[in-house]
Structure 1
Amino acid sequence: MNQLLIEKIDAILPQTQCRKCGFTGCRPYAEAIAEGHADINQCPPGGQQGIQKIAELLGIPTKPLNTTHGYPRSNQLVAWIDERLCIGCTFCIQSCPVDAIVGAPKQMHTVIADECTGCDLCIAPCPMDCIHMISINNKVTDSVSLPVDIIKKQAADRARSRYQYRLQRIACDKQADHKSHTEEFVQSPQAVQVNSEARKQTIVAAALKRAAAIREQTATRLNSRKTI
């Protein structure tokens, strides 16, 4: 595997980690291109400019974006959470590839706009449909005097670092969790294993019930105001 070529392709990709290309992130997509297992036109966020740069790097003809993977956006979008409806299920936190969402279980979550890549991977898992993609002019407010290309590269480099750190953190967490379960089994072989998926469902069900009650109270107040 040509690591140098992979690095160069990865440097061209926008680092949104959106998976629209069909791979789990920009780096795996770069590896697939370098190995000849993927085409150069599968990245909607990179757009035609990204395809052109990769084609020039590889010394091959350029081609139009394969729109089966999506369309490029004309403006920058970031995720926004309606905190009035957030139930704190943490599903969006788990889905964010760059750890740009913060919050605690059963507490409202919020998006760090400057770190959000606009991948929209957090929208589908949200049981409350309280996450929306909103348009912003410029995320890097302290670099507005810099050329757009430099601003984009800084954002991509930062997203790449956060993505890599997240992968390392998940690997460490899995290793620690495995060690903990192993030690627990050794100490108590007959202990009943807790079904984590069932526990998640119970938490979400309870949170949804609370959210429904809040919505009903809000609707009642609004209706009472209308009748006044």
Structure 2
Amino acid sequence: MNTIWIAVGALTLLGLVFGAILGYASRRFAVEDDPVVEKIDAILPQSQCGQCGYPGCRPYAEAVGLQGEKINRCAPGGEAVMLKIAELLNVEPQPCDGEEQQAAPVRMLAVIDENNCIGCTKCIQACPVDAIVGATRAMHTVMSDLCTGCNLCVDPCPTHCIELRPVNETPDSWK
């Protein structure tokens, strides 16, 4: 019984020592983040879709804040996000398509051919905004009000039953 208390005491002491070392190291070697990058990242929609050419919202925020990348490359955020970033950085707003002339962006929506869906859930796992619902080995469907048209669900589908289609502009679908 005495050896158990010695083992418990030794493990507790080791836990306290290593906890103190880790606590000191986390404060000593902390890296300060750029507050502008943090604010830009908070403005972005966090869909991690990659339509801007970066692997996620954080790398795009770092490119805008530190390297001067264009502020108009976030397709899911659209004009609203671009205007907020322009206001934050005190720069001129840019056309939303990234080109010199303003073009009306076409909103895309993922559509699943439900007759060919095998219910593998690969599209659900790929969707960064949880716009696809369904169960394993059951038909899946896309919730159109949540879909950003990021195209990340199309490639993982083994039956190629997902395609992106342009959304008809109606008062209900306009954003």
TM-score by length of 1: 0.48
Work out the CA distance in 2 between the residues paired with 1:137 and 1:48.
16
Corresponding residue of 1:156: none
Contact 2:47 2:57 in 1 (8 A): yes
- 1:99 CA drift (Å): 1.3
In structure 1, give the amino acid aligned to 2:126: S
Residues 1:78 and 2:109 aligned together: yes
Q: 1 CA distance for matches of 2:68 and 2:139?
A: 39
Q: Measure, in 1, the Cα distance between the counterparts of 2:147 and 2:57.
A: 15
Counterpart selection for 1:111 from 142, 145, 158: 142
2:111 match: secondary structure: strand
1:88 alignment partner AA: G
Change (3 A) 1:126 1:90: same
Amino acid at match of 2:109: V
Q: Does 1:20 align with 2:51?
A: yes
- Greater mean alpha carbon deviation, residues 9-18 or residues 81-90: 9-18
The one-letter code sitting in structure 2 at the alignment partner of 1:74 is P
CA positional deviation for 1:55: 4.1
Aligned residue in 1 for 2:158? 127
Q: Counterparts of 1:41-190 in structure 2 under 5 Å?
A: 41=71, 43=73, 45=75, 51=82, 53-60=84-91, 74-134=105-165, 135-137=167-169, 141=172, 152=175
Conserved 8 A contact 1:76-1:138: no
Q: Render the CA deviation track for 1:208-228: whole Å, top value 9, x for unaligned.
A: xxxxxxxxxxxxxxxxxxxxx
Deviation at 1:78, TM superposition (A): 1.6
Give percent identity, aligned residues only. 50
Q: Report SS of the residue matched to 2:110.
A: strand
Give 1:24 deviation, angstroms.
3.1
CA contact 1:40–1:54 (8 Å) conserved in 2:
no
CA distance, structure 1, for counterparts of residue 141 and residue 78 of structure 2: 29
* 2: CA distance, partners of 1:122 / 1:50: 23
Gaps of 5+ in 2: 1-32
Q: 1:123 to 1:82 in 2, by over 3 A?
A: same
Residue type matched to 2:55 in 1? T
Gaps spanning 5+ residues in structure 1: where? 153-228
Q: Is the CA contact (8 Å cut-off) linking 2:64 and 2:71 kept in structure 1?
A: no
Larger proportion of helix: 1
What SS is found at the alignment partner of 2:41? helix
Q: What amino acid is aligned across from residue 84 of structure 1 in structure 2?
A: N
Q: Is the contact between residue 119 and residue 136 of structure 2 (CA under 8 Å) also seen in structure 1?
A: yes
Report the CA distance between 1:131 and its aligned residue: 0.7
Match for 1:123: what amino acid?
A: V
Number of matched pairs:
138
CA distance in 2, matches of 1:33, 1:74: 21
Cα distance in structure 2, aligned partners of 1:18 and 1:80: 17
**How far apart are 1:75 and its partner, in Å?**
2.9
